[in-house]
Amino acid sequence: MNERLDALRTYLLKKKHHAFVRTAEEAGIAGLNERFAREGTPDQMRSAMVFSEMMKNQDPVILPGEKIVFTRTIKDVPFIYTEKEWEGIKATHYIHERGTVSNISPDYETTIRLGLGARKDEVKARLAQGNAGEEGKIFLESVLKCIDSLQDLILRYEETARAIGAEDTAEVLSNVRTKGAGSFREALQLLRIIHFAIWAADNYHNTLGRFDQYMYPYYRHDIDNGILTPGEAFDLLEEFFLTCNKDSDFYPGMQQGDNGQSIVLGGRDSDGNYLFNELSEMCLKASYELRLIDPKINIRVDSRTPDEIFEMGSRLTKIGLGFPQYSNDDVVIPGLVRKGYSEKDARNYVVAACWEFIIPKVAMDIVNIDGLSLAACVKDALPGLKDCKDYDAFYSLVDKEIRKEADLICAKHKDLYMIPSPMMSLLMDGTIERARDISLGCKYNNFGIHGTGLATATDSLAAIRKYVFEEKTVTPERLLAALKADFKNDPELKELLRKEAPKMGQDIDWVDSIGTDLLDSFDKALEGRHNERGGIYRAGTGTAMYYIWHARDLGATPDGRTAEENIPANYSPSLFMKQKGPISVIKSFSKPHLQRVINGGPLTLEFDQTVFSNEESIRKLGMLVKTFITLGGHQLQLNTVNREELLDAKAHPENHRQLIVRVWGWSGYFVELDECYQDHVISRIEFGV
């Protein structure tokens, strides 16, 4: 990192730029909703008007040494509805999370290439066709309004740059205000502007997609034409990464850090080429040097990916940011095709905010619409245990519960309403031509359901199969009584179930096959169902925050887990499994039919930081990752942790402000997390030397 960037990094970490920030109320734009309500403004126009006011009231701020500019100076985005209006909408509609468009992968590439001017002409031309209908016309006008107001802000930034004598920055801004990017720097600046814009348009979990692919032509162009040296390009790249950490305190998420700024590197194309280029490598290096939580790095790999890539990734893992996360093209692509995505689209997959597989440009999937607790399905089947003559009979009860739960979940997603986003619409395929806001749907409109508590469910069934049916050493009555009493009446049974009973993650085939059955049942339960937008449902292995929520009402489980204990995050072994080691874990967790659970959700392995002391150990970590991928694992995240440090950070947060941990599908600053998430990170099993 050069001195300029180091100073900028320190400046941002000290949050000095927050001095320029005011609230929407202070900016005088908080009351727009009242006016909209009075005047009956259509929702699309409301979104455009709020965006326009957000742009108008930004103060162009150029931080010391910045070459890539745009800093958010209004903290919160005014809501387009009054409270009363929103209550009314909520009463008759299903609202996903905050209600705005989120967690999709926008098409930055087209706008960076063509420029805002050309995009504006495209919208105007569509309007001129005169056949968009009343709604369509409002939509197109809303998009125009967004582009205009964004261009105005770019112009004001340009003037500010000139005023402080930053002629080069002014030149870049002058170009990207109307034209497509002509250089790597312009491409990064325009990307920064668009990304800034969608955040300011109240969209969230704004992913960055296949950054190394869509930015590469600009990088190549500048290197080949002697415009930039690789070192200069690297500095610009680092600066862009820094910009992702600039305004993130104002980005909404479940927890601070859960902001979805993921990038995806590599991947294999249909000709069999592995698309990992110089820029991809630079991204890993930049992240290594900067040691910040954003952007969160993902690498698309497969069984033929060269070992060096896994080594490069492992080097980054070692420093403890909780990424890169890996996904396996060999599994994900056919899995997506199986769910109805075209081969071409499937090949272009990225990850959403955490790990859900989505398609840039064309998918308005809601990948985290709900979670199904597999562990709860096992519990709900328990009253029937005493009447089952064998394990299979009991499993069919569990299968029924999964189906029942799927019925309930799918019935919930009716009359979905999403707040329009003309700004985001500009970045999605076909919206202008259709003259329809992206919130109303796109080529793919699928819903994803997390499958939580897989290990808890599997281990519970394994214990039942072994002790109730095979060895007949535990009666159903005794088990149910113990669960009811949270094992307080039967500590002996608790010990047996926790410590002696076999668990998923120990590479025991019959146990792991229960995990396979559960995921198959989950996928089958969603098969053939369509949501109201014509999309399908996708089963997944992620948990998001459900690992806390679903554990709360679960009560004690037959794997020996007590009521107050958590369930594992994502696709991971039980928190109290007797470890055989990481090889057994990756074997167990690569056995299920992972193409069927293509909503995603990674196996998580935690390692003690001291394990990776030298180059050879980093190479071996790379081998471990590659082995999981070769065995058919779908997704993997690795964390290096230091338990002592985590405990100390809980006690003395002031000394650990920069300590970064992986939470569920994202990395954040440990001291900024709620205590339940901190404790979960501490309780996860780590592998020592």
Partner 1 sequence: MTTGTIFSIEEFAIHDGPGIRTTVFLKGCPLRCTWCHNPEGQGFEPETMVKKGEKSVCGERISPEKLVAKLLRNEEIFKMNGGGVTFTGGEPLSQAQFLLEVLEKLGGRIHTAIETSGYAPKEVFRKVTDKVDLVMMDIKMVDPKRHREWTGLSNALILSNLETLIGSGKPFIARIPLIPGVNDDRENLEKTAVLLEGATGLQRVELLPYHKTAGAKYPMVAREYLPGFDTEIPPRLDTEPFEKRNIKTMIL
| Selected binder of partner 1 within 275, 623, 676, 682 (CB under 8 A) | 623
- The closest of 588, 544, 572 to 639, measured between CA atoms, is 572
For the bound state, the minimum distance from the C-beta of residue 498 to partner 1, rounded and expressed in Å, comes to 12
- The closest of 147, 244, 259 to 195, measured between CA atoms, is 244
Please check whether residue 310 is in contact with residue 325, taking contact to mean a CB–CB distance below 8 angstroms.
no
Cis-peptide into 324, omega within 30 deg: yes
For the bound state, the minimum distance from the C-beta of residue 495 to partner 1, rounded and expressed in Å, comes to 10
Largest CA-CA distance found in the chain, in angstroms, rounded: 83
309 vs 299: CA distance, rounded Å: 9
Q: Which is nearer to partner 1, 611 or 682 (CB)?
A: 611
| Selected binder of partner 1 within 580, 593, 643, 656 (CB under 8 A) | 580
Q: Is 366 helix (H, G, I), strand (E, B) or coil?
A: strand
Query: Which range binds partner 1 by CB under 8 A, 75-83, 179-187, 562-570, 575-583?
Result: 575-583
485 binds partner 1 (CB under 8 A): no
Query: Which range binds partner 1 by CB under 8 A, 125-133, 405-413, 581-589, 663-671?
Result: 581-589
Query: Which range binds partner 1 by CB under 8 A, 124-132, 272-280, 558-566, 621-629?
Result: 621-629
Q: Which is nearer to partner 1, 122 or 645 (CB)?
A: 645
584 binds partner 1 (CB under 8 A): yes
For the bound state, the minimum distance from the C-beta of residue 627 to partner 1, rounded and expressed in Å, comes to 6
Q: Which is nearer to partner 1, 62 or 631 (CB)?
A: 631
664 vs 351: CA distance, rounded Å: 14
82 binds partner 1 (CB under 8 A): no
For the bound state, the minimum distance from the C-beta of residue 191 to partner 1, rounded and expressed in Å, comes to 39
For the bound state, the minimum distance from the C-beta of residue 26 to partner 1, rounded and expressed in Å, comes to 55
Please check whether residue 629 is in contact with residue 303, taking contact to mean a CB–CB distance below 8 angstroms.
yes
Query: Which range binds partner 1 by CB under 8 A, 162-170, 253-261, 293-301, 617-625?
Result: 617-625
122 binds partner 1 (CB under 8 A): no
For the bound state, the minimum distance from the C-beta of residue 619 to partner 1, rounded and expressed in Å, comes to 9
689 binds partner 1 (CB under 8 A): yes
Number of H-type helices and E-type strands within the chain:
29, 13
Residues 627-666 that bind partner 1 (CB under 8 A): 627, 630-631
Query: Which range binds partner 1 by CB under 8 A, 86-94, 249-257, 560-568, 622-630?
Result: 622-630
| Selected binder of partner 1 within 581, 644, 647, 655 (CB under 8 A) | 581
Q: Is 122 helix (H, G, I), strand (E, B) or coil?
A: helix
220 vs 189: CA distance, rounded Å: 17
Strands 603-608 and 635-641: parallel
Query: Which range binds partner 1 by CB under 8 A, 219-227, 249-257, 374-382, 615-623?
Result: 615-623
80 vs 643: CA distance, rounded Å: 45
Residue 261 region, left (φ>0) first, then alpha (ψ -120 to 50), else beta?
beta
609 binds partner 1 (CB under 8 A): no
- The closest of 265, 279, 266, 267 to 188, measured between CA atoms, is 279
Please check whether residue 641 is in contact with residue 606, taking contact to mean a CB–CB distance below 8 angstroms.
yes
492 binds partner 1 (CB under 8 A): no
Token pair in block for residue 20: 């320029």
Q: By rule CB under 8 A, what count of residues binds partner 1?
A: 22
For the bound state, the minimum distance from the C-beta of residue 616 to partner 1, rounded and expressed in Å, comes to 8
Q: Which is nearer to partner 1, 396 or 609 (CB)?
A: 609
For the bound state, the minimum distance from the C-beta of residue 662 to partner 1, rounded and expressed in Å, comes to 20
Query: Which range binds partner 1 by CB under 8 A, 171-179, 285-293, 426-434, 607-615?
Result: 607-615
Query: Which range binds partner 1 by CB under 8 A, 6-14, 387-395, 514-522, 611-619?
Result: 611-619
583 binds partner 1 (CB under 8 A): yes
- The closest of 519, 542, 537, 541 to 527, measured between CA atoms, is 537
| Selected binder of partner 1 within 178, 396, 562, 617 (CB under 8 A) | 617
Q: How many CB atoms lie within 10 A of CB 28?
A: 11
In b/e form, how buried is each residue of 436-450, taking b as 16+ CB within 10 angstroms? bbbbbbbbbbbbbbb
Query: Which range binds partner 1 by CB under 8 A, 31-39, 400-408, 614-622, 642-650?
Result: 614-622
For residue 600, what are the CA distances in angstroms to 167, 402, 676? 46, 19, 24
For the bound state, the minimum distance from the C-beta of residue 54 to partner 1, rounded and expressed in Å, comes to 51
Q: Which is nearer to partner 1, 421 or 630 (CB)?
A: 630
Q: Which is nearer to partner 1, 169 or 630 (CB)?
A: 630
Residues 494-513 that bind partner 1 (CB under 8 A): 507
What are the φ and ψ backbone dihedral angles of 263, each rounded to 5 degrees? -125, 155
Q: Which is nearer to partner 1, 549 or 687 (CB)?
A: 687
Cβ neighbours for 392, distance < 8 A, ≥ 6 positions apart: none
| Selected binder of partner 1 within 156, 400, 620, 650 (CB under 8 A) | 620
Please check whether residue 521 is in contact with residue 402, taking contact to mean a CB–CB distance below 8 angstroms.
yes
For the bound state, the minimum distance from the C-beta of residue 581 to partner 1, rounded and expressed in Å, comes to 3
Mutual angle of helices 391-412 and 454-463, in 10-degree steps: 160
Q: Which is nearer to partner 1, 131 or 610 (CB)?
A: 610
Q: How many CB atoms lie within 10 A of CB 141?
A: 18
Print the SS3 string covering 549-604: HHHHCCCCCCCCCCCCCCCCCCCCCCCCCCCCCHHHHHHHCCCCCHHHCCCCCCEE
Q: Which is nearer to partner 1, 411 or 689 (CB)?
A: 689
Please check whether residue 363 is in contact with residue 444, taking contact to mean a CB–CB distance below 8 angstroms.
yes
Please check whether residue 461 is in contact with residue 398, taking contact to mean a CB–CB distance below 8 angstroms.
yes
For the bound state, the minimum distance from the C-beta of residue 582 to partner 1, rounded and expressed in Å, comes to 5
| Selected binder of partner 1 within 83, 130, 614, 651 (CB under 8 A) | 614
Q: Which is nearer to partner 1, 223 or 611 (CB)?
A: 611
Query: Which range binds partner 1 by CB under 8 A, 251-259, 433-441, 519-527, 609-617?
Result: 609-617
Token pair in block for residue 52: 């326009």
Q: Which is nearer to partner 1, 255 or 584 (CB)?
A: 584
Residues that bind partner 1 (CB under 8 A): 507, 580-584, 587, 611-614, 616-617, 620, 623-624, 626-627, 630-631, 687, 689
